Amino acid sequence: MKRINPPVTKVADDAVAYKFIKGIDNYNKTIKCTYFIIVLFTEGSGTHFIDEHKFPIHKNQLHFLFPGQHHHWVTGPETVAHKIVVGQKIFESFSSSDEFSFIRHNLNPVFKLSKKMFSLVNAEIKSFERDISFLSEEPSWKKIIQLRMDIVASMIRREAELYIKEVLLPKSNLTLIKYWELVNEQYIEQKAIKWYADKLGITPNYLNVLCRKHMNMTASDVIHYKIMQEAKKQLRFSNDSVKVITYNLGFDNISAFSAFFKRKSNFTPTEYRS
């Protein structure tokens, strides 16, 4: 199949674009990202500079770039990569966008994928490349592309969750591990930091200190992360009304839930679901 490389310098908020990279690709100046970008290196060498950090490029790697970050790279001659540029509205619509935000706060923006996970992600991105070629002929194909990207996002969500449980939390202190467990158990009924701090026998301020030190998030961010994860899941995959979901998640009224969801995602619950 002949590869079609549409321009990626300008992407609408509700659009996604693809670029195939082969050989030396040299950005000799720092570029500030205005989109969410995923780059899958199937083969590679060279260096990728993200903000003030330097990351060696290798095969079977997945690189993330978030809006507002600066980056440039110099790739080696054997490099083969797939670059996907995602508009802001599409990114926010992912059921897993909160996990991506968690990655930004807590991970190096480079994953070394296992052979199995690489094979799965690579297959989806190749399908995405095909779908992009159809889009120029059939605009309604955009919905399929959005769904394809959500599949990729859900795969990476699994990697993020494994990292949280197997790498990040074990390196934290016992109090923070207990906080994470409490939030997962009680986030529907309890949304106040003071309640969790009292349960842990510490002050709210110290709980925030621990969260910032070990997770680069506030204590409130952790609760909000869990609420948004569940809210998006119910909006996407259940037939419950927004009113029912509001009460499922422990909000007193639709207005409060809608304001919270809009503040965190730039969408109302109804807009997100549609």
Q: Taking 60 as the threshold, does the pLDDT of residue 95 lie above it?
A: no
Q: Are residues 149 and 207 in the same domain?
A: no
- Tell me the C-alpha distance between 135 and 128, whole Å: 10
Of all residues in the chain, the percent with pLDDT exceeding 70 is 84
Q: Are residues 180 and 78 in the same domain?
A: no
Q: Are residues 162 and 31 in the same domain?
A: yes
CATH number for position 24: 2.60.120.280
Domain boundary among the residues 98, 133, 168 is at 168
Q: Report the sign of the C-alpha dihedral through residues 146, 148, 149, 155, in that order.
A: positive
The answer to whether residue 1 sits within a structural domain is: no
Q: Taking 70 as the threshold, does the pLDDT of residue 107 lie above it?
A: no
Average pLDDT of the residues in 237-253: 94
Q: Are residues 23 and 155 in the same domain?
A: yes
More confident residue, 68 or 207: 207
Average pLDDT of the residues in 30-50: 87
The answer to whether residue 10 sits within a structural domain is: no
Q: How high is the pLDDT of residue 200?
A: 96
The answer to whether residue 110 sits within a structural domain is: yes
Q: Are residues 126 and 180 in the same domain?
A: no
Residues near 219 by beta carbon (within 8 Å), at least 6 away in sequence: 179, 193, 196, 197, 204, 207, 208, 210, 211
Q: Taking 60 as the threshold, does the pLDDT of residue 7 lie above it?
A: no
Q: How far is CA 55 from CA 40, 51, 178, 260, 263, in A?
A: 14, 11, 33, 36, 33
pLDDT confidence tier of residue 272, bands split at 50, 70 and 90: confident
Q: Are residues 65 and 153 in the same domain?
A: yes
Q: Are residues 181 and 244 in the same domain?
A: yes
Q: Are residues 134 and 20 in the same domain?
A: yes
- Tell me the C-alpha distance between 107 and 160, whole Å: 9
The answer to whether residue 157 sits within a structural domain is: yes
Task: Provide the residue range defining the domain that includes 140.
Answer: 16-168
Q: Taking 60 as the threshold, does the pLDDT of residue 227 lie above it?
A: yes
Q: Are residues 246 and 128 in the same domain?
A: no
pLDDT confidence tier of residue 6, bands split at 50, 70 and 90: very low
Average pLDDT of the residues in 26-46: 83
Q: How high is the pLDDT of residue 1?
A: 43
The answer to whether residue 11 sits within a structural domain is: no
What mean pLDDT is reported for the chain?
A: 82
CATH number for position 203: 1.10.10.60
Q: Are residues 181 and 240 in the same domain?
A: yes
Q: How many domains does the chain have?
A: 2
Q: How high is the pLDDT of residue 246?
A: 97
The answer to whether residue 5 sits within a structural domain is: no
Q: Are residues 34 and 137 in the same domain?
A: yes
- Tell me the C-alpha distance between 100 and 98, whole Å: 5
The answer to whether residue 150 sits within a structural domain is: yes
Domain boundary among the residues 146, 168, 190 is at 168
pLDDT confidence tier of residue 100, bands split at 50, 70 and 90: low
Average pLDDT of the residues in 226-244: 90
Record the tokens describing residue 213, joined without a space: 């030190």
pLDDT in tens, 140-182: 777 777 777 777 777 776 776 676 677 766 766 789 889 988 9
| Residue 44 CA from chain centroid, whole number | 23
pLDDT in tens, 8-28: 457 777 777 888 899 988 766
Q: Are residues 132 and 156 in the same domain?
A: yes
The answer to whether residue 9 sits within a structural domain is: no
Domain boundary among the residues 125, 141, 168 is at 168
Average pLDDT of the residues in 218-224: 92
Q: How high is the pLDDT of residue 65?
A: 84
